[in-house]
Chains A and B, each alone.
Chain A
């Protein structure tokens, strides 16, 4: 990482500075040696803990096997299976397109399965010329699991778009915001049951910490419970707990990118990886693009660790407050309408740089005591023409 080289410079500077104090003295040289070594050890700390994740993010949604090359645009789905005539994806957005390039030897009959899809999603499959492919919809095993038989054309590139029919209509809608299930995974069904009571909710916008340690088993259990109990899909960013296992590699394999952006009904949604209490410069560069893209639109941004904890003494925000202040200022100047966070297991309504901000860590992880708020989620009403119309607290217990 870049910090090591720069840190060595600092150590050398410190050594030079102290060198003047003890010139010619063996004792002083010993002291300097110890201090220099200490400084060098200190400097080996990585200043970009999220860099590797950000790089791996760019490879999410890509796979190649059986003479088939698959790339999900924007990394908005992860490839779970690509073998034996089956392409299985975990969707991370209401709308996404998969580019499929079939080699001359590729088989033609494929099962295209999408988990975590919108309940009313349909498949639009076309080749490079825009002519439709033959598609047969399979029965739904769960409301959010969709499958189609698709006749691919060897030697061509095709586009498979999964989306609800009305996805690009500019109309108001409601979504849920949730975070921090963690060790309460066994009870998360209560939350889904409460969510299912509101038929107007279109999806869950999840701000990280799906599981306690981010292991493959825990993430698979999370996804199985979601499919079994929830009527609507859940689009997530990772939390710091997902990084506990192999720096969230399992999350990226099973769920998807830590940072991504999509639009629905004309509203822009950005999920940003802040799982290491920072936003890596690679992610921030992507965010810059999303902010620019959504400058004249309604834009909702979610990340797990809030840049600034409203309870500053606790310091549950970014590790470097300057970075936090710069980030929220940038979002404010770009006209972000709403920021949603997790990490703190309670409910907070505040503002950062003037942007309405909510912390909703009510997924069941060890709750903050004495706050009068237990498990909960937020119901957010948003209108692409008018902005965020309302954010309601929905208690589960």
Chain B
């Protein structure tokens, strides 16, 4: 397994933890049974555990690992044996796994309550209720499944979404979409639309999830992934159709570098994007399993897009804040799911060949939200799939053409999964002003091999 560069403080931490593990004597735990000093420490609040007896019901929103991800990342990135007794408030009781037989990893980096807890049974009726009238009343599915707590949460989310939509749209109408206020008001409206949409999808997930074992946050992701594939674009206003799709993602602790290219050999259309993301909060992507997938990134991307047949070139940059929230924090029915969102701004300029000049800089509000699931359950197969909305109007898809005057962006479904340690696939379908489908082969370099 390839890990990041060792850190001296991490080694010191590892040494202290190892010493406690080896030297500890037995002690009487609060919830009964004899436990080592390390076990007590690991299950205490200092390292994210809990002194609360395990039969006390879990507190909502408390199941995030409170071990600072960077600390545990350092522990994990040490070479050699790693006692990784990850603890969290959601994982009451001893969490130290038995010694690994072959000197490798001694425990799974994350032991989940949901794997041990009895899962709610699947019932068809709540699924039907979640559709009609649940698509309008978002808690009804969970309520029909006998889960009033989740139902209340979903109703509250729906009401919040509708409230935010009203809080954004009404002032937009009253101000005539004034140039001085439209940015924040638009963001509020889109946030409302996002919360409303995601609570609707969560309602469906809450009643369908008992039918399958939820996916897991990948323990690790490779330091480098390359992808190569084919992308089809149907845009009634453009000549291009067929693209080579190339991409690369490099994960360096808290930093993620990414680049992609879409090249249409017949028309010469070339879209090149390169960017960097910095993880402000949450476990680094290479060691996602240290957390529950909840994260916040700041991202910057530069874009170059050449349209030879349409006669112009676009260049620009963008900055956005992107977050992901593990839905398990919202309730146990949402294990394996997450919601994500992003907000940002871009500035773009167009250049035209010949004597045509345009020195305008066009801004754009970037806004995305999506509902996703983790794919895989701890083995080499790992990835995610997301149903999403993207507000951007540039790129090869753009926004939905319609009577609203370009107000709405595009909708899509994307998935990326490593099937083995080395190979995987990525696929995407998106509908906006154009229709787009992509299928790529993914090759992982480094990582768990």
Contacts and interface: CB of A to CB of B under 8 A. Distances in A.
A17 B173 contact: no
Contacts of A278: 236-237, 401, 433
B140 interface: no
B419 A352 contact: no
B177 interface: yes
A47 interface: yes
A346 B178 CA distance: 9
Interface string A336-356: 000000011110001111100
Given A323-B433, A353-B350, A316 B428 contact: no
Contact of B429 (A27, A39, A313, A367): A39
Given A21-B419, A320-B432, A370-B178, 16 more contacts: A10-B436, A14-B439, A35-B385, A47-B401, A244-B403, A311-B182, A319-B402, A320-B393, A320-B434, A322-B310, A325-B310, A326-B238, A329-B310, A353-B352, A368-B176, A371-B179
Interface of B: 173-183, 186, 211-213, 232, 234-238, 305, 307, 310-312, 314, 345, 348, 350, 352, 354, 356-358, 360, 362-365, 375, 381, 383, 385, 387, 393-408, 411-413, 415, 417, 419, 424-440
A43 B435 contact: yes
A132 interface: no
21 contacts: A10-B431, A13-B429, A14-B413, A18-B415, A18-B417, A18-B427, A21-B415, A21-B417, A27-B213, A35-B385, A35-B413, A311-B182, A312-B348, A319-B398, A323-B238, A325-B314, A326-B307, A332-B358, A353-B312, A353-B358, A370-B178
Q: How large is the interface on A (under 10, 10 to 19, 20 to 34, 35 or more residues)?
A: 35 or more
A353 B438 CA distance: 32
Interface stretch (A60-68, A76-84, A102-110, A279-287): A279-287
B156 to A, nearest CB: 26
Contacts of A318: 393, 401, 406
A320 B399 contact: yes
Contacts, number: 275
A243 interface: yes
A240 B405 contact: yes
Contact of A321 (B375, B393, B401): B393
Contacts of B235: 47, 320, 322-323
A322 B354 CA distance: 18
A11 interface: yes
B402 A313 contact: no
Contacts of A329: 310-312, 350, 352, 356
Given A14-B437, A17-B427, A315-B365, A353 B385 contact: no
Interface stretch (A1-9, A250-258, A294-302): A1-9
Given A49-B403, A311-B179, A326-B307, A18 B186 contact: no
The 7 lowest CB-CB distance pairs between A and B, nearest first, are A17-B427, A10-B437, A320-B398, A326-B310, A312-B363, A320-B433, A277-B406
A368 B179 contact: yes
Contacts of A354: 352, 356-358
Nearest to B204: A34
A330 B354 CA distance: 12
Nearest to A38: B413
B398 A17 contact: no
A28 to B, nearest CB: 9
A13 B236 contact: no
Contact of A332 (B211, B352, B411): B352
Contact of B406 (A6, A305, A368): A305
B234 A322 contact: no
Contacts of A14: 413, 415, 427-429, 437, 439
B431 A45 contact: yes
B212 A27 contact: yes
Interface in A84-136: none
Contacts of B438: 13
Contacts of A18: 385, 415, 417, 425, 427
B186 A3 contact: no
A333 B356 contact: yes
A340 to B, nearest CB: 16
Interface in A16-57: 16-18, 20-21, 27, 30-31, 35, 38-39, 42-43, 45-50
Given A276-B402, A330-B311, A3 B234 contact: yes
Given A320-B434, A369-B175, A305 B363 contact: no
A310 interface: yes
A243 B404 CA distance: 10
A367 B405 CA distance: 17
B245 to A, nearest CB: 11
A366 interface: yes
Contacts of A50: 401
B425 A345 contact: no
Contact of B177 (A30, A42, A314): A314
A233 interface: no
